[in-house]
Structure 1
Amino acid sequence: MRYLPLTEADRQTMLAAIGVAKVDDLFADVPAAARREAPVDLPFSAGEMDVERRLSALAEKNLPAGRAPFFIGAGAYRHHVPAAVDALIQRGEFLTSYTPYQPEVSQGTLQYLYEFQTQVALITGMDVANASMYDGATATAEAAAMACRVTKRKTILLSGNLHPHYRSVTATSLQYSGLVVEALDPDPLDVEDLLGRIGPDIACVVVQNPGFFGRVKDLSALAAACHAEGVLLVVAVTEPVSLGLIAPPGAMGADIVVGEGQSIGNGLNFGGPGLGLFATAEKYLRQMPGRLAGQTVDVDGRRGWVLTLSTREQHIRREKATSNICTNSGLCALAFTIHLSLLGETGFRRLAEINHAKAVTLADKLRRVKGIRVLNQTFFNEFSVLLPKSAAPVVETLAGRGILAGVPASRFYPSYPELDEVLLLTATETTTEDEMDRLVQALSEVLS
């Protein structure tokens, strides 16, 4: 393929058509402080061995989750991933798979996507699920936009207990859509009045369960209040392992369930990739973003799979598309499906029970530390505590001792001084009692 660059006249014609004077105007939303005026200070060339040495030295500065007592959660969780998951997803037919436009040569990919959808629908308690999305945050933004299409309303109400990344991605994604995003203040004590905010102008209420600060709630009353006003309830789940123990959002009346699937089958990987979950009621099927794999039979009556629904812009929908997201994190979805299949229903429930038991043990130990107050009455594997001093310096001090002691709420909400002493802590099946005791001992010394 030849490279045919644009002429200056071509550029000016294109700029005039979209109403800007110069190319730099296209980057007006990027803060000036984030723009580079010169190339990155890296050598233009280097030998392979030299590159390996330099990159390895940089990598050694990281502290992987498995090398230290690890109590970090806040939307991304460390779980044990069976070796079989990694072995299977690296098979060539999966590792190099792409969008299955031709079902006759993509039966393996379509089958696992169909099974993935089935698993997500089952654990969320919804009728139908799509073939995944980027991550939980973008799935939430898509759910909010979908709710506005369904209700023909423009105002989206975000709970203060929705993950701050989900809040900011939703606001950013919809800022030029003509929709209104109203976000309540963060609320570790969970006393916000969502019921009092529901009205005929609201398209949807978006909540998280367990909430960002760890609290688990029964959303049935909220769902009933939403439906009485024609409002859709969107529930986000950042920790899908919790669905092995907590009543699924669908059973509480959710209209759309979104979430982050990273916890099942996928490691932390220092920040990604993620796996967006998206499920809804059947009556909203055609407003659902992404794509849907379906089961059918061929002319000989043999079972097969096809791409049943695809409302993405790169398919036939074009400008009528429900979403322009053009990936489904397929390899991560496959890892999710394999891991959940290995667990089975009994194993999934048992994994959730172990997670909750670990967190209960940790909370009980922390209650005995002078000055620490556990804020949650209910939680799954993550909860918040109030320290007698600012949480961020405490976390830094413990990191210097080789203990990754959770996430200060101020990291996400620096402009809320009332959250300065709030610390989020997580315990999963990977957390040992010895690690808990090390954390408790270190906190006792730092806080004394």
Structure 2
Amino acid sequence: MTTQHDGRTGAPDPFHSFARRADRSDGLAHFRTRFVPSEGLVAYFDGNSLGRPTVHSVERIQKFLTEAWAGRLIRGWDEEWMELPFAIGDRLGRAVLGAASGQTVIGDSTTVLLYKLARAAVDAPRGSGRRTEIVLDTDNFPTDRYVLDGIAAERGLTLRWIEADPASGVTPEQVAAVVGAETALVVLSHVAYRSGFLADAPAITRIAHEAGALVLWDLCHSAGSVPVELDRWGVDLAVGCTYKYLNGGPGSPAFAYVRADLQDVLRQPIQGWMGSSDVFAMGPEYRPAEGMRRFVSGTPPIIGMLAMQDTLEMIEDRGIAAVRAKSLELTDFAIALFDEWLAPLGAKLASPRDPSRRGGHITVSHRSMRTVTATLWGRGVIPDYRDPDGLRIGLSPLSTSFEETYDGMAAVRDALRAELLRATGLG
């Protein structure tokens, strides 16, 4: 790409020059060649919703179909597949979650795993008697709110709502104000799905524990982008998807984390044969397996968990700290472009400017963003839209360049400007 010039002065655009320099010094730049090219793509701003496929994942899945599945047939279960959810889970735990082995498993959707762990938590035996409240926030992802509403109805519990600002997120002070002797469980997202606000997980976990409650963190927008230290933070439970920054593919299975000392205490509610102590005994009654196997229900989705291994390999290579460092550089750059190009058009930044409080995406708000998003999709620039009036810009560090970020933000500027002219009858 040739150097861009400032339309007002004719001088080389300093933002474009910065992008080119940043790409040359990017220690993760070589990973971009590992992703399958997308025809007609100018900029992909939706890595926080669906990651891009890797070249190796295509080869891995094809090889599995022709060799492992066709070649081994049902023997594959005894040879590898039965243990694959735990092997990949341990690998994900080490590379991404700060979790020692034996605490993470791959399987089911985020919704199902959230239900399993939340339901098990509120039914957990407690020496001080039954607790009757679940704490959550009004801006959490719909699945979290819907699942917890259903559990509350099933178990006769009360939902204690934290009113969260969509442009920020839940603070430790807000949690401290609502937890107490009746709190059974606190369920929050580590990174807010709309604003990208990064919650203070260690502080909130500590506050919940001081009240005698368990904590379940939703890591869907954290895993693979933001460093997580579940063991060090003393987290009880966590769930997250693998098709965002982990590039597992559409509908790839989620992961569940249960702290080691809780595994034989909690009884998960979907008692399937794969979670029993002797899977092939086919006994008359359910006896839960020890450890993380008891949180498995049905047959593991083996093909669905193959692709994420390639991203785990990249993260293992350079470390999650390097991924986070580039993520912050990309979002800082996007915010600088927002200030220069979009703020003068009336757009608002609906994400934290403080990098320590920001996850891997930013949201730009304007009343025209629904229309702008549709326009951009037709031009090969792919963000996504979230009410109210928010265009989300998800910058996946392993697959996104600074020049791609520049090109995409320039397209947002041009589309918004054109829409404003059209709305005023000048376009």
1:290-339 C-alpha deviation (Å, 9 max, x unpaired): 99xxxxxxxxxxxxxxx896599x96595676778424332222322343
Give the 3-state SS of the residue equivalent to 1:131 in structure 2.
strand
The alpha-carbon deviation at position 209 of structure 1 amounts to 1.3
Pairing 1:142–2:125 present? no
Pairing 1:333–2:289 present? no
For 1:88, the equivalent position in structure 2 comes to 60
Query: Take 1:129 and 1:162, find their aligned partners in 2: how far apart are those partners?
Result: 25
Pairing 1:254–2:235 present? yes
Residue identity opposite 1:214 in structure 2: G
Q: 1:289 to 1:131 in 2, by over 3 A?
A: farther
CA contact (8 A) 1:355 1:428 kept: yes
For 1:55, the equivalent position in structure 2 comes to none
Q: 1:266 to 1:242 in 2, by over 3 A?
A: closer
Give the 3-state SS of the residue equivalent to 1:190 in structure 2.
coil
The number of residue pairs the alignment matches comes to 351
Q: 1:69 to 1:173 in 2, by over 3 A?
A: farther
Residue identity opposite 2:123 in structure 1: R
CA contact (8 A) 2:275 2:297 kept: no
Q: 1:226 to 1:406 in 2, by over 3 A?
A: same
Query: Take 2:268 and 2:40, find their aligned partners in 1: how far apart are those partners?
Result: 36
1:28-50 C-alpha deviation (Å, 9 max, x unpaired): xxxxxxxxxxxxxxxxxxxxxxx
Q: Residues 297-312 of structure 1: matches in 2 within 5 Å? A: none
Pick one of 376, 385, 389 that aligns with 1:421: 389
Pick one of 403, 425, 443 that aligns with 2:381: 403
CA contact (8 A) 1:258 1:276 kept: yes
For 2:182, the equivalent position in structure 1 comes to 201
For 1:445, the equivalent position in structure 2 comes to 418
For 2:359, the equivalent position in structure 1 comes to 380
Query: Take 1:261 and 1:288, find their aligned partners in 2: how far apart are those partners?
Result: 25
Cα root mean square deviation, aligned: 3.7
For 1:354, the equivalent position in structure 2 comes to 326
Pairing 1:220–2:202 present? yes
Give the structure, 1 or 2, with the largest relative contact order (CA under 8 Å, sep 6 or more). Answer: 2
For 1:78, the equivalent position in structure 2 comes to 51
Q: 1:143 to 1:317 in 2, by over 3 A?
A: farther
The alpha-carbon deviation at position 265 of structure 1 amounts to 5.5
1:51-84 C-alpha deviation (Å, 9 max, x unpaired): xxxxxxxxxxxxx8973533236x62324x3322
Query: Take 1:143 and 1:254, find their aligned partners in 2: how far apart are those partners?
Result: 13
Give the 3-state SS of the residue equivalent to 1:238 in structure 2.
coil
For 2:262, the equivalent position in structure 1 comes to 284
Q: 1:180 to 1:89 in 2, by over 3 A?
A: farther
Query: Take 1:208 and 1:311, find their aligned partners in 2: how far apart are those partners?
Result: 35
CA contact (8 A) 1:159 1:205 kept: no
Give the 3-state SS of the residue equivalent to 1:116 in structure 2.
helix
CA contact (8 A) 2:185 2:213 kept: yes
The alpha-carbon deviation at position 147 of structure 1 amounts to 1.1
For 2:32, the equivalent position in structure 1 comes to none
For 2:20, the equivalent position in structure 1 comes to none
Residue identity opposite 2:78 in structure 1: S
Residue identity opposite 1:208 in structure 2: S
Residue identity opposite 1:162 in structure 2: N
Give the 3-state SS of the residue equivalent to 2:358 in structure 1.
coil
CA contact (8 A) 2:120 2:269 kept: no
| TM score, norm. by length of structure 2 | 0.69
Q: Which runs of 5+ in 2 are unaligned?
A: 1-37, 289-293, 422-427
Residue identity opposite 1:217 in structure 2: A
For 1:367, the equivalent position in structure 2 comes to 339
Q: 1:78 to 1:266 in 2, by over 3 A?
A: closer
Residue identity opposite 2:328 in structure 1: H
Pick one of 212, 223, 228 that aligns with 1:230: 212
Query: Take 2:192 and 2:55, find their aligned partners in 1: how far apart are those partners?
Result: 31
Query: Take 2:160 and 2:299, find their aligned partners in 1: how far apart are those partners?
Result: 28
The alpha-carbon deviation at position 396 of structure 1 amounts to 3.2
CA contact (8 A) 1:89 1:95 kept: no
1:222-271 C-alpha deviation (Å, 9 max, x unpaired): 1111111110111111135445x424243333211111112366455xxx
CA contact (8 A) 1:112 1:334 kept: no
For 1:297, the equivalent position in structure 2 comes to none
Give the 3-state SS of the residue equivalent to 1:434 in structure 2.
helix
1:403-444 C-alpha deviation (Å, 9 max, x unpaired): 334222x2xxxxxxxxx3333321224441322322233234
Q: 1:323 to 1:336 in 2, by over 3 A?
A: same
Q: Which runs of 5+ in 1 are unaligned?
A: 1-63, 292-306, 411-419
For 1:190, the equivalent position in structure 2 comes to 169
Q: Residues 12-31 of structure 1: matches in 2 within 5 Å? A: none
| TM score, norm. by length of structure 1 | 0.66
Identity %: 17
Residue identity opposite 1:132 in structure 2: I
Pairing 1:121–2:96 present? no
Q: 1:333 to 1:309 in 2, by over 3 A?
A: farther
Residue identity opposite 2:396 in structure 1: T
